[in-house]
Structure 1
Amino acid sequence: MNQLLCLLLAATPTANAMAAYMASLPQEIAALVATDDCQLPDEFSIQNFVAESANGGKTLDSFEFGFLDDSTTVDTSCLFNSTSKAVNNDGRTPRYSCNDARVNFIWQNGSLTLIEGVCAGEDGAADYEASGTAPVAITCTGGNGTTANNATATGGSNCKADSADIQAKFFSIQPVAPKFE
């Protein structure tokens, strides 16, 4: 009996969190989820983040990483370099596409924001975007042999995330912004 009570008490926060999450969703999305026409993502992983920097990690000249979302089975690689072109031109912060175009990213202030298109409409394109942000702590070596913690680093540096697998949660779901041409 005590074990059952403990199990019920342990499950209560999860049930409450799911109820709150579903209550905060627009009715349209909640209806899609109820009919299994839409899989809402919950968590994602940034894997094997590596970069190059000319100034010891203060800014990144190029970087690449893997993106994994187990709930939607999206597994793709993402790359930014001097030839990367933003996929939006609507005045918002520039976003860049991963190999799987359902996933875009923004690198800003040492963090990656991942945007995943979800809930495809009749045209096959995502009607909603889930987004989440993860800080990416990096260490850089090379150039003159210093690390990113040393402000005197000069020359080309190879950088990598301090963790090979960074876990984060999606915290927002919004309709896809209209495209203006």
Structure 2
Amino acid sequence: MKLSLLLIAAPAAQAAVSYMSAVPDKLMAMVEASEDCNLPDDFQIQNFAAESADGKTADSLDFTFNDDSTVLNTQCHLNASSVPVSGDGRTPRYACDNASVQFIWQNGTITVIEKVCPGDDGAADYEASGTAAVPLVCDGGAANGTGNAARSHRRTRRAAVACKSNSDDIRSRFFSIQPVG
């Protein structure tokens, strides 16, 4: 029994060790010398809600990002008027209300990027990244409020379907920390 518990706990422990072993020496020195530099450990995606025209692909979304280790809580949104943070050829990132947090939404997965450890100029020198799967449940009756969503959807192709995560509190871990670049 004890051996099986050890084997179950090993991957989680290895993930934590891998994250910490990847922290650059310069950053570790900054963490130890500064009260303003906290390395994020895990994060929460809360109250995730979306709208979908087809009941499969999210066209707009809203959620709350929370990181207890850095005491950061902010609202995040993506809709037709959202503009990516940078046009540097990478996958588009979108800023949350607190610009220290950005996110990428792809295929039911959200990647969050949190800027941490301000340098002498006050700007963050590092970014921590983590990914969480967000399973969506779309309410077919939400398209017109009557429960006849399929028939209504055929007539009105643009009717939005309300979607949400099957959990109001999705927790995940940061897995990477890199210099801001």
TM interval, shorter chain, is 0.7 to 0.9
Q: Cα 1:95–1:17, aligned 2, differ >3 Å: closer, same or farther? A: closer
* Matching residue within 167, 170, 173 for 1:166: 170
Structure 2 gaps of 5+ residues are 1-5, 151-156
SS in 2 for 1:158: strand
Hey, which bits of structure 1, 4+ residues long, moved more than 2 A?
A: 13-24, 142-146
* Residue number in structure 1 paired with 2:179: 175
| Paired residues, number | 159
Q: TM-score, normalised by structure 2?
A: 0.80
CA drift of 1:145 comes to 3.5
* Residue number in structure 2 paired with 1:6: none
In terms of fraction of residues, the more helix-rich structure is: 2
* RMSD (Å) for aligned C-alpha atoms: 2.2
CA drift of 1:29 comes to 0.8
1:46 aligns with 2:45: yes
Within 5 A, what are the aligned runs for 1:109-148? Answer: 109-141=107-139, 142-143=142-143, 144-145=148-149
Q: Provide the C-alpha distance between the structure 2 equivalents of 1:16 and 1:136, rounded to a whole number of angstroms.
A: 24
The CA deviation string for residues 96-139 of structure 1, in whole angstroms up to 9 with x for no partner, is 00000000000001100000000101111110000000000011
* Residue number in structure 1 paired with 2:73: 75
Q: Is the 8 A contact 2:49 2:162 kept in 1?
A: yes
CA drift of 1:16 comes to 8.1
Q: Is the 8 A contact 1:22 1:30 kept in 2?
A: no
Q: What is the percentage of aligned positions where both structures have the same residue?
A: 54
Q: Provide the C-alpha distance between the structure 2 equivalents of 1:19 and 1:84, rounded to a whole number of angstroms.
A: 36
CA drift of 1:91 comes to 0.1
Letter of the 1:140 counterpart: C
CA drift of 1:15 comes to 8.7
Q: TM-score, normalised by structure 1?
A: 0.80
